[in-house]
Amino acid sequence: MRVMNHRLILLFLLAVLGVGVFGVYGPGLEGPFVFDDHPNIVGNQLVAVDALDGENLRDAAFSLGNRHYPDRGLARLSFALNYYFAGERFDRFAFKLTNVV
């Protein structure tokens, strides 16, 4: 019984945290790309993958969209996946929702 109570409390706290996060970040989901988004996402054509294959994903991960942040391979890989799964377009909402999640 006590384990069930702890799980319910944990579930409740996670739900409150989730609602809080979306309450804070939700309004910005429709906002524009800002700051380093342009060189790293919109201006980096290697992120615009049209097929999920090793070569495209490797090129996207190791591209240098912004030379100030050369070690962001995982971030650029997620940008490429976002681009692909958003219908091969730079959908601001999809990119920002992934960041919030």
Do 61 and 13 lie in one domain? The reply is: no
pLDDT score at 90? 92
Do 50 and 86 lie in one domain? The reply is: yes
Structural domain including 83 reads 33-100
Question: How do the pLDDT tens digits run along the chain, 101 residues long?
Answer: 677 788 999 999 999 999 999 899 989 998 999 988 888 888 888 899 999 999 999 888 887 755 656 678 888 899 999 999 999 899 999 999 888 88
Do 63 and 94 lie in one domain? The reply is: yes
Do 93 and 67 lie in one domain? The reply is: yes
pLDDT score at 37? 87
H/E element, 56:
helix 54-61
Do 59 and 44 lie in one domain? The reply is: yes
- On whether the CB atoms of residues 42 and 90 are closer than 8 A, the answer is yes
Do 49 and 84 lie in one domain? The reply is: yes
Do 21 and 3 lie in one domain? The reply is: yes
Give the up-direction half-sphere exposure of residue 86: CA atoms within 13 A in the CB hemisphere: 19
Do 25 and 45 lie in one domain? The reply is: no
**Residue 76 Cα to chain centre, angstroms:** 9
| pTM, two decimal places | 0.74
